[in-house]
Amino acid sequence: MQSKNYAAVDIGTNSFHLIIVKINQDGSLTVIDREKEIIRLGSHKGKGLSLISTDEIKKGSKVLRRFKKLAGIYNAEIHAVATSAVRESENRNEFIDEILEKTGIEIEVIDGRIEAEYIYKGVRKALHYKDKKLLCVDIGGGSTEIILGQNDEIIFGESIKIGAVRLSKEFFPDFILTNDGIVKCNKFIKEQIKETKQLNLDEKFDIAVGASGTIQAVAGMIQYQKSGKKVKSRNGFVFTKEELEKVTDEILKRKTPEQRVNIEGMEYKRADIIPAGMLVLNKIFEIFRIKEIIISEFALREGVVLSMLEKDQSLQLSSNL
């Protein structure tokens, strides 16, 4: 198989991510570069995530121009996908058109189920569990994906509108925690999960897997508090329900982002929205009766790369027929 580089851009609600990947001869992935920029889409105007501001569009264009330049240096084919903030915004077409005009990047706006499929693809590649039933959880800025799968089959894969940015905007104005806000937020999270009919809350699973933003940040705090240092890769790291509850208590005691930023292992730019994300994670642990969760370093963007590779292989196969 000819070696080729691929670049995937994940335009999320909380941040923009780029990964550039080399596909090795044995089919494994090597991430040769990665970039992340915190840009909150839909967080400044309108209700929910209904409007992407002019400033957010401007910042997004600037970041994506840089991402495209970097992909060009590695001669990597680029594919950009956008999730909940873009798919819900009233001015999504304005955002997409502006990005295309300013950067030449064509954005694919994916629905929640496709997002769940990409995440599951990435998780399967990072954690080599054969014949195990995996419950995968990915808490983003705008939505949370919950996927149950076994080998190549997805039993259910749903996207629920309970992301850390969305909930912070709704229940914690200025990112200040109040007891009333916590109670209302918890109630809302529970209702949203329980009302998602496609989820079978009683379905058994072998292993719970966590990916992306909030869960990676929680793992980072737990790892740091255990070892006293930041670990480069968290793939395969496991934390328990008790460890999650301990770090959640610590965070919820601190009412402002300024207080939370001093917690050992805290990601500086996530100190404002982390409480909402942790409430989602705790509620998922409770509802699905999770005792421990394992971290997958791969998620949506790696799933995008794998889909690009599959498409290329399919085209190559058809041209050889």
Which tokens sit at 173? 């104005």
Q: What is the mean pLDDT of residues 65-71?
A: 97
User: Domains in the chain and their CATH numbers?
Assistant: 5-109 (3.30.420.40), 128-300 (3.30.420.150)
**Nearest Cα to 105, choosing from 74, 128, 83, 77?**
77
pLDDT score at 287: 97
Q: What is the mean pLDDT of residues 108-130?
A: 95
Task: State which amino acid sits at residue 90.
Answer: E
Q: What is the mean pLDDT of residues 316-321?
A: 61
pLDDT score at 45: 60
Q: Is 15 helix (H, G, I), strand (E, B) or coil?
A: strand
Whether residue 14 contacts residue 169, with contact meaning beta carbons closer than 8 Å, is answered with: no
Q: How far is CA 315 from CA 121, 153, 156, 318, 319, in A?
A: 20, 23, 29, 5, 6
Q: Is 133 a residue whose pLDDT tops 70?
A: yes
Q: Is 70 a residue whose pLDDT tops 50?
A: yes
Higher pLDDT, 45 or 228: 228
Band (129; pLDDT cuts 50, 70, 90): very high
Residue that has been written with the tokens 């080399």 in this structure:
22
Largest CA distance in the chain: 65
pLDDT score at 180: 98
Q: Is 319 a residue whose pLDDT tops 80?
A: no
Which tokens sit at 203? 């379905």
Per the confidence metrics, is the pTM higher than 0.75? Answer: yes
Q: Is 64 a residue whose pLDDT tops 90?
A: yes
Whether residue 141 contacts residue 15, with contact meaning beta carbons closer than 8 Å, is answered with: yes
Q: Is 321 a residue whose pLDDT tops 70?
A: no
Q: How far apart are CA 47 and CA 277, in angstroms?
A: 19
Which tokens sit at 128? 């080599």
pLDDT in tens, 162-216: 999 999 999 999 999 999 999 999 999 999 999 999 999 999 999 999 998 899 9
pLDDT score at 63: 97
Q: How far apart are CA 56 and CA 40, in angstroms?
A: 7
Instruction: Kindly report the number of other CB atoms within 10 A of residue 153's CB atom.
Output: 9
Which residues are registered as beta bridge partners of 133?
Answer: 150
Band (29; pLDDT cuts 50, 70, 90): confident
Band (1; pLDDT cuts 50, 70, 90): very low
Q: CA angle, 129 as apex, 124 and 131 as ends, to 5°?
A: 110
pLDDT score at 26: 81
Q: How far apart are CA 243 and CA 282, in angstroms?
A: 11
Mean pLDDT of the chain: 93
Q: How far is CA 174 from CA 79, 155, 161, 171, 284, in A?
A: 34, 39, 20, 10, 25
pLDDT score at 24: 84
Q: What is the mean pLDDT of residues 50-60?
A: 92
